[in-house]
Chain A
Amino acid sequence: MGAFLVRRVLFGLLVLWIISVVVFVMFFVAPHDPARLLAGRQATASEILAIRHNLGLDRPILEQYGSWVWKLVHGDLGFSYRGSVPVRDLLGSRIPVTASLAFGAAVIWLVIGVGAGVLAAIKPRTIADRLVTFFALFFYSMPTFLLGLFFLFFFFFKLYTAGFHLFPGSGYVNLKDDPLGWADHLILPWFALALVTAAVYSRLTRGTMLDVLGEDYIRTARSKGISEGRVIVRHALRSALTPVVTQFGIDLGALLGGAIVTENVFGLPGLGQLAVQSISDQNLPVIIGIVIVASLFIVVANMCVDLLYAVLDPRVRLT
């Protein structure tokens, strides 16, 4: 276990290092003038020169990279081109929104996905199974933003015009200020983000559950007279969950990507909205900051998933 832990952490650090190099090369070394990009379109020549000197872009590349990483490690992400706010503070105010959205959606997709998969697996080839299969395929083919638009249209607009003011169409309320409002504002984004991915999980769970339920040890458990519910939850689901955990690790990147899209559909002031805004503003320090923070999150979360996986399935530690 110790060796596995060390190897996994080393790999995570490797990925982070590679990402830092890629980002650095993309933004500071690539065949364009970062100072010009950072200065914005209307900058004068002297302003660009000043920025170049401020950023240390006239120094050797390795030295630049070193000081950039040094700042990163100390949490210094530079200043936003808009209003000279520290990027760190800007991101700090946005992270809770994205985190609320992503975390809630992940919970919903796991519950719906695994639940539907189990339902389909214990009653294979019934109407329930077929329905799960159909909806899985349907939602799997559905782009997140399209589902969000449909939700907006039906569950916000149509309900609203019919006189039901159930869900707000946009905006965000802090969890601390108003927990109910927080959930109310997020419920449509949560489902929009969760259902697409839940489809994958229902099929995955169904497949592995069917495999597991055919195993001898399940037959043994049944023949011992253990109740069917217990067989499914204690014996079958447990081994069926391992691929789900693997898939969850893979999907963390997709979760973040989906969050970006969902925020833009529902007008949530999270990292994704900020990222898209920053592109139209050419606000590079913010974009760099978001990429770095998101990568850090994905790498760390991936590591946690792998460690959880190693706890669930001891064989993994050997490889």
Chain B
Amino acid sequence: MADGIRITRLNAWFGPRQVLRDIDLAVVPRSVTAIIGPSGCGKSTCVRCINRMHEVVPGARVAGRVELNGEDLYAPGADPVEVRRRIGMVFQKPNPFPTMSIFDNVAAGLRLAGVRNRAALHEAVERALHHAALWDEVKDELGKSGAGLSGGQQQRLCIARALAVEPEVLLMDEPCSALDPIATAKIEELIMELRKELTIVIVTHNMQQAARVSEWTAYFLLGELIEFGPTRGLFTSPRDSRTEDYVTGRFG
């Protein structure tokens, strides 16, 4: 059994501003971990540190350790490109490549990895679209542009694109914040389905969503991890008064 993601003493900065302070967090494999907290608390930065996306921002800096199955992702020899292939990511706003067809969007990651065989590509794309619960809606228009889909469909296309390269972990940075309630419900359903096979970390500003989809929840405030534990416990009997203020709606 792999031992998931282990974050130790993670610090992150944007220029001179420190946005994460000494985060320690262990993500259980094949589970959904939600990161909640008021805006600006560093929750997005934290997941972006896991797949080394934080460092692509000008002036951004990271210190600390992030391990995936015991391997240090920030080790001197670690290649961020390889890290990101193993750890997929879905963003706040659906971002399919507008110049590509639905098929090409999903196949993009595989093509980067060098898959040229048509049959293999087809099979993988179909599997990913099934996984993302989008296949039935788009199977007859794989050649059309992904930009023509609805917001919720676009987001599921992005999930399919991330799943196609068979990542070990899927990071979701507020994946529903740009979607309507129905599309949100579909994505949440999908998350419940995916957690059987994948480790998922989801950032959300929506506490109900965290309560619905996650088994573990981490509460961030001002760049610090205040509390981490099983979701139910954190919402019903928080240990820290600051967590209590937040989950009971007295703050944020």
> Bound pair: A and B?
no
A residues near B (Cβ < 8 Å) are none
B interface residue numbers (CB < 8 A to A): none
